[in-house]
Structure 1
Amino acid sequence: MHDAFDDLTIGHIKLLLSAADLGSFTQAANASGLSPAAVSKAIMRFEQRLGVPLFLRSTRTMRLTDIGDRYVADCREALALLHRAEQAAADAQAEPAGQLRVSLPTPYAHWRLPRLLSAFQARFPHIQVRLHISDRSVSLGNDAFDIAIRGHELADSGMVARKLEDAELVIVAAPEYLARAPAPNRPQDLLQHQCIQFRLPGSGRISTWSYREGGVRKEIATNGNLVCEDEYVGGIALARAGAGIYQMYRFAVEEDLAAGRLIELLPAYGGATRPFYLIYPDGITQPAKLRAFIDFLAETLVKAPRPGQPA
């Protein structure tokens, strides 16, 4: 075993923890933006370095060995200690400062956060906000992000999930599309239309569409030849061009609806929502830059009136 750590060790530790958390080299590769082969090679380098197997692999399953389980726990504790050391150094400053690494999905990056960031920078000029924009799930501890905004809670019990909002969904189409296809009168009519699809990055499944009928939330699997992958907002451009019907968050298409570029469909079945959460580590002491960002969003975004609500 080598006495000195090479420059890649920290990165390999993060890949190791991601593979252990997700139980799959492929999912760890998707989360980190690497190929499964690269992740497998990194883990093998770890095992060669240590001289022991960390995972038991078969064609269908993968799990940690007893040694691997202990080693992963120790690595997790070591990274947490390094993170606390960085936090302590950053918090020694009188004013919140430093680099804040934020992971957020495309709808929030395009429509929710831009109008707030200029005000945040004016209030905290010494915080540098680094935005990672992706609809893929991330692991905060392993992917070196300080905080994330996601459309679902995380299974990691070491994270806090603070709801930002329940964002309303709306089904839309362009006048050009409706000129050649009659507008649906009920959700089941969508099965006869060209519906723009979105493939969920985590599971690879096509996202179902949500609606409310008789006060009950329901789901429907639509059909369509156009499928967007990795980037949720790409379907809006397709809908604007008359390529089909799309379901999107109302806040993302408000201007299009007001300008008549898109038409809301099935309003009698509207009202379905999806939540957005602020995800961050659970800890008694949080770096000043992180606390400043959390408090700012709570003050501005969470309390801001939604469309149609009184100010």
Structure 2
Amino acid sequence: MSRQFEDAQLGDMELFVLAADAASFTAAAEHTGMTPSAVSRSVARLEARLGVRLFMRTTRQIRLSDAGRLYLAQCRLTLSQLGEVERQLSRQQAQPAGVVRLSLATGYGRHRVLPLLPRFRQRHPEICLEIQLSNRNVDFAKDRFDLAVRARHQADSSLVARKIEDSELVVVASPGYLARAGEPQSIDDLRGHECIQFVLPRTGRCVDWSFIVDGQDVEVSTRGSITCSEELDGGVHLARHGGGLYQTSRFLVERELLSGELVEVLAPFGGRSRPFSIVYPSARHLHKRARLLAEFLLDNLGPNQGGHMRARV
């Protein structure tokens, strides 16, 4: 869209209204700290642009022309509307309002983030949340998301990623499966077990399993006849019903481990974790309502990381 107004024109309109109200260039000048000649030139610019006389001038006074009275009414309306919009925006900054669009990795979203969001809404009742649960990478420009929370995100210099927390990984199986297939005692034992596979949507590849062996981080390719994609919870349900071994985040299976539906195995080789991060475009100014949500999640999920995030959002 081409510009209709130059930067100085709204200022010229304001000076015109002041001069019309005071019926004097001198009085308008005193009100603004300008010289009478500067106010006169400002009004002259408007008249030249419009091609009409806004004031009838004599050596002693000015008075509005018919065109000036019509233009004055419209200027008052325009400036009043602009002032009201600015006041509304200022109030929103004081008490943030509006919509925050948030994309969440499915399992992490359900188990870690969604339970917290009602409390965020109680603190900020004027902020509305639009939430998507998906493990696919977000196209911020196309999908108009403000924030995303992901375990793995594509390396992209246009995005900022701030870690929320490290989620511990565990390998689990049902008591029934272990009674049938035996409990693995070493990483090599995985070759003889049914290992439920999870496929990354971005790559289409099965996720390697992560362990610590002799103090070293190790990635292991496992094999299994059952493959899941999209939903991490799918592997948990399969494991609960005897489908095999499954490596996943501890928060996804805490309840089942407590109830005995699942049993942790290979604990001596555990200790690896997966980072979950808040992601947003680096080129975009993060508005206050989105920043408040990011800070809230960090304070409630990653207390040791909160101050660092707030300093850089």
Describe the shift of the 1:95–1:250 C-alpha distance in structure 2 as closer, same or farther (beyond 3 A).
same
Describe the shift of the 1:91–1:143 C-alpha distance in structure 2 as closer, same or farther (beyond 3 A).
farther
Query: CA separation in 2, counterparts of 1:275 and 1:90?
Result: 36
Match of 2:200 in 1: 200
- Which amino acid is 2:143 matched to? D
Query: CA separation in 2, counterparts of 1:194 and 1:101?
Result: 39
Match of 1:17 in 2: none
Q: Secondary structure at the match of 2:164?
A: strand
Q: Is the 8 A contact 1:90 1:98 kept in 2?
A: no
Match of 2:278 in 1: 278
State the number of aligned residues. Answer: 219
Q: TM-score, normalised by structure 1?
A: 0.66
Describe the shift of the 1:89–1:224 C-alpha distance in structure 2 as closer, same or farther (beyond 3 A).
farther
Is the counterpart of residue 268 in structure 1 residue 268 in structure 2?
yes
Q: CA deviation digits over 1:24-67, x for unaligned, max 9?
A: xxxxxxxxxxxxxxxxxxxxxxxxxxxxxxxxxxxxxxxxxxxx
Structure 2 counterparts to residues 186-265 of structure 1, below 5 A: 186-265=186-265
Query: CA separation in 2, counterparts of 1:282 and 1:238?
Result: 39
Q: Is the 8 A contact 2:101 2:131 kept in 1?
A: yes
Identity %: 43
Structure 2 counterparts to residues 166-177 of structure 1, below 5 A: 166-177=166-177
Q: Is the 8 A contact 1:97 1:288 kept in 2?
A: no
Match of 1:163 in 2: 163
Tell me how far 1:158 sits from its aligned partner. Answer: 2.8
Q: CA deviation digits over 1:242-281, x for unaligned, max 9?
A: 1111001011111111111100000000001111111013
Match of 1:299 in 2: 299
RMSD: 2.2
Query: CA separation in 2, counterparts of 1:287 and 1:89?
Result: 15
Q: Secondary structure at the match of 1:225?
A: coil
Tell me how far 1:187 sits from its aligned partner. Answer: 1.0
Unaligned runs of 5+ in 1: 4-87, 306-311
Tell me how far 1:204 sits from its aligned partner. Answer: 0.5
Query: CA separation in 1, counterparts of 2:90 and 2:242?
Result: 52
Query: CA separation in 2, counterparts of 1:217 and 1:303?
Result: 26
- Which amino acid is 1:233 matched to? D
Structure 2 counterparts to residues 1-311 of structure 1, below 5 A: 93=92, 94-282=94-282, 285-303=285-303
Tell me how far 1:153 sits from its aligned partner. Answer: 4.4
Unaligned runs of 5+ in 2: 2-86, 306-313
Query: CA separation in 2, counterparts of 1:265 and 1:271?
Result: 12
Query: CA separation in 1, counterparts of 2:300 and 2:173?
Result: 31
Match of 1:33 in 2: none
Q: Is the 8 A contact 1:91 1:288 kept in 2?
A: no
Tell me how far 1:217 sits from its aligned partner. Answer: 0.9
Tell me how far 1:284 sits from its aligned partner. Answer: 7.9
Query: CA separation in 2, counterparts of 1:110 and 1:284?
Result: 27
Query: CA separation in 2, counterparts of 1:192 and 1:284?
Result: 50
Describe the shift of the 1:110–1:91 C-alpha distance in structure 2 as closer, same or farther (beyond 3 A).
farther
Q: Which moved more, 1:234-243 or 1:110-119?
A: 110-119
Tell me how far 1:90 sits from its aligned partner. Answer: 6.2
Query: CA separation in 1, counterparts of 2:88 and 2:141?
Result: 18
Describe the shift of the 1:178–1:275 C-alpha distance in structure 2 as closer, same or farther (beyond 3 A).
same
Q: Is the 8 A contact 1:173 1:245 kept in 2?
A: yes
Query: CA separation in 1, counterparts of 2:147 and 2:90?
Result: 17
Describe the shift of the 1:142–1:155 C-alpha distance in structure 2 as closer, same or farther (beyond 3 A).
farther
- Which amino acid is 2:108 matched to? Y
Tell me how far 1:221 sits from its aligned partner. Answer: 1.0
Tell me how far 1:292 sits from its aligned partner. Answer: 0.9
Q: CA deviation digits over 1:64-112, x for unaligned, max 9?
A: xxxxxxxxxxxxxxxxxxxxxxxx9867623112111111111212210
Q: Secondary structure at the match of 2:138?
A: coil
Tell me how far 1:286 sits from its aligned partner. Answer: 2.4
Describe the shift of the 1:95–1:216 C-alpha distance in structure 2 as closer, same or farther (beyond 3 A).
same
